[in-house]
Structure 1
Amino acid sequence: MTTTAAQHPHGPADPGNGSVTAAQLRAIVSEVSDRYMERPGVVQTLVAAMLAGQHSLLLGPPGTAKSELARDLTGRITGARMWEILLSAYSDPKRMFGPIDVAALMQGTYTQVFEGRATQADIAFIDEIFKCGPGALNELLGLLNERLYHPENGGAPIECPLLTAITASNELPSGEESAAIYDRLLVRIRVDYLADLSNFARLLRSTSAPAATAPTTVALADLQTAIRTHVPGIAVPDPIVDAVCTLRTALRRIGIIASDRRWRQAMRLLQALAFLEGRSSVEVNDLQILTHVLWDAPEEQPAVEREVLQLINPHAHEALTLLDGVIALEVELDALAGKAREEVADWAINEANGKLRKAGQRLEELLQQSKAAGRSTTQITQIDAKRRAVHARVMVEALGMDASMITA
């Protein structure tokens, strides 16, 4: 377990309508996204969850910068008391929430020392959260759910100032106990290794990159005001409520059912995203963030994504169909591993290259159509990035080209 000492409290720098705070947070999203390639949607969603006062999960294999990203992001909140822990089945609740005060115990008083522990944290990062043992489970649930800790001496529950927790895991929960924690994490974001070869090359070069300029920060007091006042004040027009009802019906039709609590919390997440974008009301494009909210098993996420995009952006929905073809080609490329170079090259020249270039042309058309219609282009851009990554793999692995020469 590690903790970060509290910085001196900072007074609010944005006492008005929150526009300065929102601008600072957008700058933070931009800076962190530039540092962690192929993660712009991840960073934006984490910040929106923070503004909604909700907890999030980064789910992915080891070595995908989950912990580093979380520390970088949370470290930009000045004046916040940070708490971080790497959980295991043997994590002692007292070490998490406050060890026994030995000096007081010597005098016959049983109390705990809460300084620097979860009980006094404004922001938390909890790594390997599903490895939480039975001894700590109930207390951790109390912290995440009610922001309460029940002290060892049986006294009155302690109110904890926790605004949000970012959690991380390499795997999904395997038992009912850890599933209870999983259910309390509103936002679930899947992260993977870098797909684009050019981004991978950039990652390798980043070890010698010059030092960045001073990072943008936001004061804890301003973040608290945004969470408690500005975000709840964002309007949710009736057409948005109607769209969410339609989405719920569509998902139930295919067997994906979220609880009423999760839907209600999702509305606050939509408000948070609108505030982050500098708007006074939720727009239909904001519903895209729900692709990180409404699934339980990872195999449900593509279906959720399709239903959301069908509702908010038919252009992006078509792009998902193109993505299926791109992924199919990637599977074929993997299956050709170990085959003769001539056979692999023939497949690349006569099949893969043509399909990938045609998909790229259609994606560009969809991108322009989506822009003209005033719809979000984020999903189409991400799908084209995946297409370019697969095309680069084909050029390198099937045709032996130098990765630095690829402009797919």
Structure 2
Amino acid sequence: MTDSPVEPSGDPAVPATEPTQQPAPQAPGAQAADQRARAALAAVRAEVGKAVVGQEGVVTGVVVALLCGGHVLLEGVPGTAKTLLVRALSASLSMGSKRVQFTPDLMPGDVTGSLVYESHTGGFVFRPGPVFTQLLLADEINRTPPKTQASLLEAMEERQVTVDGAAHRLPEPFMVAATQNPVEQEGTYPLPEAQLDRFLLKLVVPLPPRDAEVEVLARHAAGFDPRDLSAAGVRAVAGPEDLAAARAAVARVHVAPEVVEYVVDVARATRTAPSLRLGASPRGATALLAAARAWAWLTGRDYVVPDDVKAFSLPVLRHRVQLRPEAELDGASVDAVLESVLAGVPVPR
């Protein structure tokens, strides 16, 4: 199984199974609203594609995270357009965005904000940090120590920042898109389990295939500047109202009881897998269900099938499970173990 929930062409895979209980038909007005919201999100994917080549599956995963109100962790070697992808997403949405370059000397207050003394009032006031935005790009998040990494925990889970006992709400919508180099790279700090669990998806950004890499170089030869997305034609095609409508539509996607049971069975199977010392928690199962619903809606359906669950099992679960030391010594990978777990869970028909 690949990391991407879509085929290399970007076309959704055709579901092989359907639920036994079909949802009630929608009113014509609701159907029209769904179509408009779906068209807006499709336009966002197209705009990002103007700047990022050969990463259609990763782009789709980021859009799914946006639909779920979740956060996304992008992992890949340097130079695979992770930062460019998030910047292009920001440019295609009429939403506020900020970027933080995580470094070893970055302090928690540099991210969340801090109390600043004002001489003319003789008191302290809170000065918000860059986390007070709608789309935060946390660039190379694993290059900063755990103390600074943890500064995002409350923001990602509670959508607020507490300083000196006072809670400060973050704007809505709010999403953290973090990039990281593989932990094998020198000078990195692996993210702790509590931090990883805050991310809805972990998407592995692969090296592009040859034809895509040729297109990348051809674009650069023709004058493409990744620092000037407006010159590349990337423009805002959707805003918070479109996202709100899309999220409302995703919430109406029908999930049959047997599909819910299938999600639970997948999560529980990770807890008993011989190669795993840590399986997925109920939060992981909830995240898997949310991602499956969003993907079903993006593909034009108002019901979830087991193939939707399979499509996002790896991105949702790969950062929530841990290999046993002996499995690591044997050369096993988390993705391979998860694929084996999925193969052993009966699929409802």
The TM-score normalised by the length of structure 1 is 0.64
Q: State how far apart, in whole Å, the 1-side matches of 2:190 and 2:211 are.
A: 42
**Number of the residue aligned with 2:103:** 88
Q: How far has the Cα of 1:61 moved from its partner?
A: 0.7
Unaligned runs of 5+ residues in structure 2 are: 1-29, 224-230, 323-331
Q: What letter is aligned with 1:206? A: R
2:252 aligned with 1:220: no
Q: State how far apart, in whole Å, the 2-side matches of 1:309 and 1:216 are.
A: 41
Q: What letter is aligned with 2:333? A: E
Q: What letter is aligned with 1:201? A: V
Q: How far has the Cα of 1:193 moved from its partner?
A: 1.9
Q: How far has the Cα of 1:215 moved from its partner?
A: 4.0
Q: State how far apart, in whole Å, the 1-side matches of 2:190 and 2:43 are.
A: 40
User: What does 1:226-375 align with in structure 2 at a 5 Å threshold?
Assistant: 226-227=246-247, 229-255=248-274, 256=276, 257-287=279-309, 288-296=311-319, 299-308=333-342
User: What does 1:164-175 align with in structure 2 at a 5 Å threshold?
Assistant: 164-172=175-183
Q: What letter is aligned with 1:55? A: H
Q: State how far apart, in whole Å, the 2-side matches of 1:149 and 1:168 are.
A: 22
2:130 aligned with 1:108: no
Whether the aligned pair in 1 keeps the contact of 2:93 and 2:236 (CA below 8 Å) is: no
Aligned length: 292
Q: How far has the Cα of 1:89 moved from its partner?
A: 2.6
**Number of the residue aligned with 1:371:** none
Whether the aligned pair in 1 keeps the contact of 2:102 and 2:139 (CA below 8 Å) is: yes
The TM-score normalised by the length of structure 2 is 0.74
Q: State how far apart, in whole Å, the 2-side matches of 1:213 and 1:37 are.
A: 14
Q: State how far apart, in whole Å, the 1-side matches of 2:82 and 2:52 are.
A: 10
CA deviation profile, 1:129-148 (whole Å, cap 9, x unmatched): 12333543443111111112
Distance 1:74 1:308, change over 3 A: farther
Q: State how far apart, in whole Å, the 2-side matches of 1:73 and 1:253 are.
A: 38
Tell me how large the CA RMSD over aligned residues is: 2.9
2:158 aligned with 1:146: yes
CA deviation profile, 1:58-102 (whole Å, cap 9, x unmatched): 101111110001110122111x12121011232123332235445
Q: What letter is aligned with 2:289? A: M
Query: Is 128-137 or 262-271 further displaced after alignment?
Result: 128-137
Q: State how far apart, in whole Å, the 2-side matches of 1:29 and 1:86 are.
A: 25
Distance 1:266 1:212, change over 3 A: same
Q: 1:69 aligns with which of 60, 79, 85?
A: 85
Q: How far has the Cα of 1:231 moved from its partner?
A: 2.1
Distance 1:190 1:138, change over 3 A: closer
Q: State how far apart, in whole Å, the 1-side matches of 2:86 and 2:315 are.
A: 17
CA deviation profile, 1:245-282 (whole Å, cap 9, x unmatched): 34235434434411111111221111222222232121
The percent of aligned pairs where both chains have the same amino acid is 24
Distance 1:94 1:72, change over 3 A: same
Whether the aligned pair in 2 keeps the contact of 1:97 and 1:117 (CA below 8 Å) is: yes
Whether the aligned pair in 2 keeps the contact of 1:29 and 1:44 (CA below 8 Å) is: yes
Q: State how far apart, in whole Å, the 2-side matches of 1:204 and 1:143 are.
A: 38
Q: What letter is aligned with 1:203? A: V
Larger radius of gyration: 1
CA deviation profile, 1:204-251 (whole Å, cap 9, x unmatched): 111144865564611112213433x22222211123123223423543
